[in-house]
Structure 1
Amino acid sequence: MRHFEVAKMLKDLPRDASFLLRVVEPIKSGFANIGKPGQGKAKGGAISNGKATLRLNSKGPASVEVPDDVVDVAIEKINARLESYLGINDNELAQTIWEIGSKMKNPVEFSENLQQTELAMFGFSDEFIFEIWGDIGDAKSGRMVKITQFDEQF
């Protein structure tokens, strides 16, 4: 199960309930070396930064997508909101939310599309969806920048 699915199940358990949690290492696939630093280059760009994503498409060939810095920052921001709202840190979930929201034109459309996916089980509040939509809008318009730490010299 994915992290957010386990978190949802644990959240739904009654306080006094007993449960067994078994942690199992994921099955290794033939794609285990894709996107690892120093593992080579993709057509027209490097995969060696470790941030590439292999997309397997049912209606066409597989492709490698390398997200730009704005998308990375947007996903980080969505993930931070997930952590403060649900107490889970899950980049895959944040990326799924980004992928849904990046194609939408307004928060109502975004909310309706979220409700038509497996993410509906979270029961996101309207306020949370609106905050996420703000983050997505900021990213789409280029208003989101990565905050870096720096030392001030006096």
Structure 2
Amino acid sequence: MVGRKHFDVARCLRALPTGSTFTMRLVEPKRTGFNFIASYSMPKRMRSILDTNETIRFKADGTVIVQEMPNALIINKINDIFDSYFGFHDNELAQTIWEMISSCKNFNDLKNTLMESEINDFNFPTELYFDLWGSVDDYRNGRLGKIEMPMGKTAADKKLLSEQKL
């Protein structure tokens, strides 16, 4: 595929069945003096390529696998948990943890999976495991994207009604 545009290569790679194995040799592109300039308007056909829900994984043994990308909701929720405990967002760590815990059936399975992995070097507090399991359970049951109004903010609240009249 040398000499093809990157979206042609992406189209061919997307056509491969999910889970299939193939070999890829990477070649450095030709450089011009205008590589730093990006177009402000993206062509419509490129937008559809970027909207796909698949990603390419390069394994350590040299194989490449096309996998389905995790949902951004769960990755953002895991990042929010990291932010509340440690004060940082790390998409790669969140995605790695999601890939590990997505197949867990219960809380104990999740905790054992993380404790037996190299992620255990972070010495996460026990409360973090509970929050992660709550997020996984919410994601699986479709409750993650819903916004709930707290009980103290109902229209029957006299204080809220008096503030609205002001």
Q: Does TM-score exceed 0.5, indicating one fold?
A: yes
Residue 62 of structure 1, CA deviation: 2.4
- Could you state the TM-score of these two structures normalised by the residue count of structure 2? 0.55
Larger radius of gyration: 2
Alignment of 1:14-93 (within 5 A): 40-41=10-11, 42-43=14-15, 47-49=49-51, 52-57=54-59, 62-67=64-69, 71-93=71-93
C-alpha deviation, 1:60, in angstroms = 9.9
How many correspondences in the alignment?
Answer: 111
The CA deviation string for residues 11-68 of structure 1, in whole angstroms up to 9 with x for no partner, is xxxxxxxxxxxxxxxxxxxxxx98xx89742117964237642123578952222436
CA spacing shift, 1:93–1:146, aligned 2, 3 Å: farther
Q: Any gaps of 5 or more consecutive residues in structure 2?
A: 18-47, 148-166
Deviation at 1:101, TM superposition (A): 1.2
Q: What SS does structure 1 have at the residue aligned with 2:50?
A: coil
Question: How well do the aligned residues superpose, as a CA RMSD in angstroms?
Answer: 3.2
Aligned to 1:145, the other structure's residue is in SS state coil
Structure with the higher fraction of residues in helix conformation? 2
Task: Give ranges in structure 1 of 5+ residues lacking alignment.
Answer: 1-32, 148-154
Change beyond 3 A, Cα 1:67–1:79? same
